[in-house]
Amino acid sequence: MQTHAQNRYCLGIDFGTDSVRCLLVDAANGQTMAEGACAYPRWKEGLYCDAAQKIFRQHPLDYIESLEQVVKIVLSKVEGNIAGQIGALSIDTTGSTPAPVDINGTPLALLEEFKEDPEAMFYLWKDHSGIDEASDINHYNAGLSPATGGYLDFVGGYYSPEWFWSKWLHLLRQHSRAAKACYCFVEHADWMPFLLTGGRDVRQLKRNVCSAGHKGLWSEKWQGYPTEEFLAGVDPLLSGMRERLSPAHFTSDVSAGNISQPWAEKLGLPEGVKIGIGALDAHMGAVGGQIEPYYLSKVMGTSTCDMMVVPLKEMKDQTVGGICGQVPGSIIPQMMGLEAGQSAFGDVYGWFSSFLLKSMGLLGHQTGEQDKEKLLQRLSQQAETLSLEQWKRLPVSTDWFNGRRSPDVNPDLKAAITGLDLSRGPIDVFASLVEATCFGSQMIVERFVSNGVPVKGIIGLGGIAHKSPFVMQLMADILDRPIKINQSDECCALGAAMFAATQAGWYRRVEDAMQSMGQGFLTTYLPTSDQRWKSLIKERYRRYQQIGDFSLSYFLREDC
């Protein structure tokens, strides 16, 4: 039910991996009044990262400077007094992307002595430097009895190096200056509202249930984060860390407070703008994409984040093993939020196009992002023309180019391309890789269904959903379900705007904001009715699974 959204404007701000995007939205109908984007300058230069060591860090100044710039860009595009009527702002970020902070809540990299220290910065979601720490968490949990364990039950049974505790423990084990100066870790999604509301004591910081539950093992079942006994059992370095985390956790339809006067002046916003509790980008993206119960919402970019909501009374005490978490209220309040995903999706296509273009570079041809985009378009166009007989002879690949996120997290797994001979060309390999990413999505769907959670349909979000009909049609055929493509190409920022309007009190529930502010659907991809094609898909999926089983046993050998 709509309340007081007329003549009110809000900002939805989406901090992605490479840049921040901002929408100025009319809260009455979801119309975008202006939008803008700003890349992170230090990240763009490749600073503070070492891919060989699985280190991907971002400087907090990248977030601060890009936020100021993108809001000013957006406000410069509107006339009249629209800027003066902005009354709410909400933020989503990538995650788990935490940073070490002092007791004031200041990221250490903002202090003079740590300004160039990667250990003092935000640990991006894809930072896997804590892979050993994640392994230790999993090993310790596996040794506990059912009566004393169970702390990984709500994250699919396996803790990831991408997540909160792995990264914090990794820093503590360095015994460095940054490790000694760190009071606690704070997720990016929590730090931004804390910053904008003028927070000065991290013990009072309001943490969101989305990040805490899916990435930090927070649960109402054990009244917060895992017990002192569990954390100290993993490593004594974690002793006392639980008590440093503020106990208050909130859903994103709650206000974190009003914007501080200094930040209102910096951004050119009115005083009194309400700042919402943050959340993970894909989760707000699911809301912006108009998620429905039992519809798997897939945000498809470099990786995928696959989300579903189920009414709490229907979920009951059921758990789904091998996914990335199930948390009450993490996507929509009063519903169970479930998340899975693939560690590499668009990244697989990007790798292959770069592989080809780098070969051309050796011959003296200079390549760039536009070349990569054009090549992917041509590969897709050619792959669409493959006949059924040609498809039968394609290589069979697996999609674990960055390990496996779901089902059953395993960062050590590697991808494979099989069935090559001298007659194979780039189109064959590309089609095989796209098929593999869609088969990876099928594995996720089957895991939900086998655990009693039906998947009625798919909602496609993100750049690939809008740009690649070839990928989307093949996915519809493989999943044997219709895929609805949401109209908005900025679902994460739009979802943040919906939450902004809700936490400001203009809508009673975020579902009401979704109904009024949602942009509807662009198109629907229907699965094939061709029985020959269906049979071929099943046969190739069986081979994909066989190769996956072999890879699982091979790459986990101690001598590999």
Q: How confident is the model at residue 211 (pLDDT cuts 50, 70, 90)?
A: very high
Lowest mean pLDDT, pick from 32-36, 399-403, 442-446: 399-403
> Distance between CA 395 and CA 543 in Å, rounded?
10
Residues 42 and 187 in one domain: yes
Is 330:415 a contact under the CB 8 Å cutoff?
no
Q: Give the number of other CB atoms < 10 A from CB of residue 524.
A: 14
What end-to-end distance do the CA atoms of the chain give, in Å?
58
Q: What are 331-362's pLDDT values in tens digits?
A: 999 999 999 999 899 999 999 998 898 877 76
Is 24:9 a contact under the CB 8 Å cutoff?
yes
Asked if pLDDT for residue 3 goes beyond 60, the answer is: no
Paired residues of 321 in beta bridges: none
Residues 381 and 446 in one domain: yes
What percent of the chain stands above pLDDT 70? Answer: 96
Q: Which of 408-417, 489-498, 547-556 has the highest mean pLDDT?
A: 489-498
Residues 268 and 294 in one domain: no
Residues 268 and 405 in one domain: no
Q: How confident is the model at residue 147 (pLDDT cuts 50, 70, 90)?
A: confident
Final residue of a structural domain among 247, 280, 313: 280
Residue 395 lies in a domain: yes
Asked if pLDDT for residue 246 goes beyond 70, the answer is: yes
Scored b (16 or more CB within 10 A) or e, 126-163 reads bbbbbbebbebbbebbeeeeeeeebbbbbbbbbbbbbb
> Distance between CA 141 and CA 233 in Å, rounded?
9
One-letter amino acid identity for 195? L
> Distance between CA 410 and CA 343 in Å, rounded?
10
> Distance between CA 375 and CA 382 in Å, rounded?
11
The predicted pLDDT at position 558 comes to: 53
Mean pLDDT of 222-243: 95
As a whole number, the mean pLDDT across the chain is: 93
The predicted pLDDT at position 402 comes to: 87
> Distance between CA 396 and CA 515 in Å, rounded?
42
What total number of domains does the chain contain?
A: 2
**Of 193, 114, 130, which Cα lies nearest the Cα of 165?**
130
Residue 412 lies in a domain: yes
Residue 502 lies in a domain: no
Is 467:489 a contact under the CB 8 Å cutoff?
no
The predicted pLDDT at position 1 comes to: 45
Residue 356 lies in a domain: no
Residue 285 lies in a domain: no
Q: Which residues contact 221 (CB under 8 A, 6 or more apart)?
A: 154
The predicted pLDDT at position 94 comes to: 95
The predicted pLDDT at position 369 comes to: 72
Residues 276 and 404 in one domain: no
Residues 305 and 161 in one domain: no
Final residue of a structural domain among 280, 298, 326: 280
Predicted model pTM: 0.92
Residue 475 lies in a domain: yes
Residues 416 and 539 in one domain: yes
Provide the strand spans (E) within 136-178. none
Q: What are 258-282's pLDDT values in tens digits?
A: 999 999 999 999 999 999 999 999 9
The predicted pLDDT at position 5 comes to: 62
CATH code for the domain in which residue 305 is found:
3.30.420.40
Mean pLDDT of 499-519: 97
Mean pLDDT of 242-258: 94
Q: What are 103-137's pLDDT values in tens digits?
A: 999 999 999 999 999 999 999 998 999 999 999 99
Residues 264 and 305 in one domain: no
Q: What are 403-413's pLDDT values in tens digits?
A: 898 999 888 88
**Of 281, 339, 284, which Cα lies nearest the Cα of 310?**
339
> Distance between CA 312 and CA 245 in Å, rounded?
27
Residues 222 and 318 in one domain: no
> Distance between CA 285 and CA 92 in Å, rounded?
9
- Classify residue 385 by burial, with Cβ atoms within 10 Å: 0-12, 13-18, 19+: exposed
Q: How confident is the model at residue 557 (pLDDT cuts 50, 70, 90)?
A: low
Residue 365 lies in a domain: no
One-letter amino acid identity for 430? F
**Of 166, 165, 172, 163, which Cα lies nearest the Cα of 119?**
172
The predicted pLDDT at position 201 comes to: 97
> Distance between CA 496 and CA 283 in Å, rounded?
9
Q: How confident is the model at residue 556 (pLDDT cuts 50, 70, 90)?
A: low
The residue among 29 and 556 whose pLDDT is bigger is 29
Residues 429 and 544 in one domain: yes
Residue 363 lies in a domain: no
Final residue of a structural domain among 258, 280, 302: 280
Residues 158 and 298 in one domain: no
Q: Domain limits at 437?
A: 290-345+375-484+530-560
Backbone angles phi, psi at 92, to 5 degrees: -120, 155
Residues 222 and 319 in one domain: no
Q: What are 289-311's pLDDT values in tens digits?
A: 999 999 999 999 888 999 999 99
Q: What are 84-94's pLDDT values in tens digits?
A: 999 999 999 99
Asked if pLDDT for residue 54 goes beyond 80, the answer is: yes
